Amino acid sequence: MIKVIDLFAGCGGFSCGFERAGYDIISAVEFDKNIAKSYEMNHPKTKMIADDIKNVDNNNIFKKNDATIIIGGPPCQGFSMAGARIRKGFIDDPRNYLFKHYFNVVKIVRPKIFIIENVKGILTMKNGQVFNEIKKIFEDSNNFEGKPYKIQYKVMKAKEFGIPQNRERTIIIGSMIDFDLDEEINKTKEYIKGIDKHFFDNVTVWQAISNLPKPTEDGNIKTKKAENNYQKFLSSNSGKTFNHVMTKHNSIAVKRMEKIGINENFTVLDEEIKTVHSGSYGRLDPDSIAPTITTRFDTPSGGRFIHPFENRTITPREAARIQSFPDDFEFVGTKSCICKQIGNAVPPKLSYFLGTMIRRILEND
């Protein structure tokens, strides 16, 4: 099996898709020890390093040729704060230390391919200087003993991969192998259609969550029979799933939600709502896709996350369905920690596509 290291792993959405595509995730790094527990529960064969990445980018933890692929998304806070002096030392700016340590691990391990997932805006931050600097660092032969990486990127839309969510993320791929990314994406789409002709079908919110029964106190439920191909793709052999717990809203919030129709939000309420989110108190359209699932999907004021038919926000399991997590994936931790895990994750179905594409590239090398 092809070996993979997952950096900034979170609960393991990226790993989840690569595992389904047939990879061996040998180790993962996650700073938040509570989130690391979710990763360990769902990826018991992977060595979890629950530590700050600055403590692990060394030869004691990683060695050359440990893995063929490195995946992960360094958080973008440092990128967005990068100042006007970017050209004078981006990688040495302490605000970009997360990216620097990702780079250091790549430099130690020397994988054939690495993948960085980040926000769409990374391409335009500081008028494109941030992305150009990242590209320059990995394509500099002086950093890699004369054998640098070729950098390619693509903004990928979750909805185009049969995920019911308007999520767009930049996928940056560095490779020692010469290939055309757009060409490989198209070839992989045709390949997957040959295996699963429904993989890229458009999926609505209701198609994602319709076979989930009422939420329970402990969140453990048995799903009804899969009603469509998306539900079949995510279903577990046991028919059981977890984390289907509803938020207990106060009476004021419930009364507000009672007045909100499909695709409406706080603007229809006859009161002044102070909010920083334009979609605050928004109700999901069952026949359309959801907005990007964020870490605040359990809060009515956090965006358009009210259930299509019930006066409550969506549960963690419903959010996980919209994120394309399989039903046998169980999240552990406090409510806020679980929301953070789901909202920050790479959708596993998109990750599966990327894993399938990379495997084909390696096989044809």
Query: For residue 28, which phi and psi values (nearest 5 degrees)?
Result: -140, 145
Q: Using alpha carbons, select from 5, 11, 7, 81 the residue that is nearest to residue 344.
A: 11
268 SS3 class: helix
What gap in Å lies between CA 332 and CA 208, rounded to an integer? Answer: 22
**Would you say the C-alpha torsion 300, 301, 305, 309 has a positive or negative sign?**
positive
What gap in Å lies between CA 230 and CA 70, rounded to an integer? Answer: 28
Q: How many CB atoms lie within 10 A of CB 114?
A: 27
**Annotated catalytic residue within 11, 16, 76, 339:** 76
The DSSP string of 15-77 is HHHHHHTT-EEEEEE-S-HHHHHHHHHH-TTSEEE-S-GGGTSSTTT--TTS-SEEEE---SH
What gap in Å lies between CA 101 and CA 112, rounded to an integer? Answer: 18
Residues in CB range of 139: below 8 A, 6 or more apart:
148, 149, 150, 151
* Known active-site residue 337: no
Q: Using alpha carbons, select from 247, 343, 340, 345 the residue that is nearest to residue 300.
A: 247
Residue holding tokens 């928004």?
A: 282
Q: Using alpha carbons, select from 304, 362, 361, 355 the residue that is nearest to residue 161.
A: 355
Residue 260 burial (CB < 10 Å; 0-12/13-18/19+)? buried
What gap in Å lies between CA 190 and CA 49, rounded to an integer? Answer: 37
- Two tokens, residue 245: 């717990």
What positions carry a catalytic annotation?
A: 76
